[in-house]
Amino acid sequence: MEEHQHPINDFASLDAISLEGPSPLTEYGFLGEPSIMTLEANSSELKSKRDSSNLCEEDLKQIKRAQNRAAQRAFRERKEARLRALEQDLQQSEQHRKALAQELEELRKENLELSSKEKLMLEDEALQTLESDGTTFSFPAEYENHHHELLHQTRQYHDNFMKEQRSYYDESGRQILTISATWDYLHRLSEKQDLNIPVVLKQLEGKEVCHGFGAAYPRVVIDHIVQQQSSQINDHV
């Protein structure tokens, strides 16, 4: 009995090939569709980077504004501190003036009391001398000299005191203003024209002259600085 031989099925043999190994297409990324979740993640990452860049620029602007405000505040505080210092100096000068005036008044009273006591003592001695020997009496020259010396010292002290508080003229004929007199002079000028008194006082630093009782300023120097400031204000206008 002849065996019936079936023809070989080539297609069936292909079906028997194992497909467990990786496809060569996967190496090049052609197998399957790209993931939607992967695309959304990439888009979110790009958007986050752009937002981060914008945020950094906004932060820089905020920092710059804060630095400008801090600089302006520091400048204003320095000006206010300088003005307070000048006001304190003026107040101390006024207190010093009052103290000197009181001291001068006390010296005058002491001088009058001393003169009166010396005069009474000398008169008593003269009376006693007249009663003892009947001769006339004349005041000694030492008393007259001493009395004139006291008066001279009192006048000199008063003149120096007045120099300190107001103004005087130096040997070259320039009018010299003390600190308090300078402040009053600038205040009167500011009522007539636009004047920045703290700026003028700042420019006067280093131009002081000494008159024995502290700093003072020549009026010609003050007027020159005031004129310069007025010219600058007019140029800006």
- Mean pLDDT, rounded, for 157-162: 56
Q: What is the CATH number of the domain that holds 182?
A: 1.10.238.100
Q: CB neighbours of 140 closer than 8 A, spacing ≥ 6?
A: 122
Is residue 182, in this structure, part of any structural domain at all? yes
The whole-number average pLDDT for the span 190-196 is: 85
Residue entry with tokens 């204003």: 76
Residue 199 domain boundaries: 167-229
Q: At which residue do the structure tokens 């000197």 appear?
A: 100
**Domain-located, residue 196:** yes
Q: Is residue 161 part of a domain?
A: no
Beta strands 209-210; 215-218: pairing state:
antiparallel
Q: What is the mean pLDDT of residues 19-45?
A: 50
Instruction: Determine, yes or no, domain membership for 210.
Output: yes
The verdict on residue 178 lying in a domain is yes
- Distance between CA atoms of 97 and 11, rounded to whole angstroms? 126
> 27-39 pLDDT, tens per residue?
444 444 445 555 5
Residue 57 falls inside a structural domain = no
pLDDT tens-digit readout, 56-75:
888 888 998 999 999 999 99
| Mean pLDDT (whole number) for 94-117 | 82
pLDDT at 72: 92
Q: How many domains does the chain have?
A: 1
Q: Residue 55: inside a domain, yes or no?
A: no
DSSP letters spanning the chain:
-PPPPPPP-HHHHHHTS---SPPGGGGGT-SSPPPHHHHHHHHHHHHHHHHHHHHHHHHHHHHHHHHHHHHHHHHHHHHHHHHHHHHHHHHHHHHHHHHHHHHHHHHHHHHHHHHHHHHHHHHHHHHHHHHHH-------HHHHHHHHHHHHHHHHHHHHHHHHHSEEE-TTS-EEEEHHHHHHHHHHHHTTS---HHHHHHHHTT--EE-SSSEEEEHHHHHHHHHHHHHHHHHH-
160 domain residue, yes or no = no
Q: Taking the model in full, what pTM does it have?
A: 0.33
Q: What is the mean pLDDT of the chain?
A: 72
